[in-house]
Amino acid sequence: MLDVAVKMLAKHGYHGVSMDDIGAAANITGPALYHHFKGGKEQMLADALIPVSERLLVGGRHFASLHSDSPRAALEALVDFHLTVTVESPEIVILHLHELDRLPSEPRRQVRRLQRLYVEEWVRVLCELTADLKPEQARVIAHGAFGLLNSTPYLALGEEVGPDEVRGVLREAALRALTATRAEP
């Protein structure tokens, strides 16, 4: 049911789909969805976005720690992991980018906190990679890279470029962007 909801919400937007629409697509009645999602679409959104935010944080920490002796390898692992999530789950990235503000305040705060912690993993690795890079500069660079990497859903949902090619092109572009920036003396 949640997978159906995520696909529909990503395709039609939060206001473009009703609980009845989701129920019909999942072969149950809209009201029966409330048995599983008492908070309706808001709860569906929270149930989709919180776990992916947790997955990013846990995975980011894990993959960066595998290469604690090599900031470059840690950065590559972070990029690869992020691309895996976005290529495998393009709809969830679309929801994250466009529908996060539809969440009630507490789940939205939870997602934002998880996001900040995930960004700080990238900041740490970037600062290790470039000694004169300040954390606030690394944060800007990381967010810029996320913009690039999170463009994946729009490409991955199309027919023009396959997932492997999307992953390869964006990986190379992200690594160039992440490593080309140097702090000013």
Render pLDDT for 100-145 as a digit per residue (tens, 0 to 9). Answer: 999 999 999 999 999 999 999 999 999 999 989 999 999 999 999 9
pLDDT reading at 185 higher than 70: no
The answer to whether 145 and 177 have CB atoms below 8 angstroms apart is yes
Q: Over the Cα atoms of the chain, what is R_g?
A: 18
Domain count, the chain: 1
pLDDT at residue 158 in the model:
58
Q: What is the CATH number of the domain that holds 118?
A: 1.10.357.10
* Structural domain contains residue 25: no
Residue type, 79: V
Which of 35, 98, 76, 85 is CA-nearest to residue 58?
Answer: 85
Mean pLDDT of 72-82: 97
**Residues present in the chain in total:** 185
Read off the pLDDT of residues 5-55 as tens digits, 9 standing for 90 and up: 999 999 999 999 999 899 999 999 877 888 889 888 999 999 999 999 999
The answer to whether 107 and 174 have CB atoms below 8 angstroms apart is no
The CB density around residue 8, as the number of other CB atoms within 10 Å, is: 21
* Structural domain contains residue 101: yes
* Structural domain contains residue 148: yes
* Structural domain contains residue 51: yes
Lowest mean pLDDT among 31-40, 51-60, 81-90: 31-40
Angle of CA points 172, 98, 61, to nearest 5°: 50
**Could you tell me the residue range of the domain that residue 148 belongs to?**
41-180
pLDDT at residue 157 in the model:
53
* Structural domain contains residue 28: no
Residue type, 143: H
* Structural domain contains residue 147: yes
* Structural domain contains residue 170: yes
Collect contacts of 145-150 with beta carbons under 8 A, ≥24 apart: 145/79, 145/174, 145/177, 145/178, 146/82, 146/119, 148/173, 148/174, 148/177, 149/79, 149/82, 149/83, 149/86, 149/174, 150/86, 150/93, 150/96, 150/97
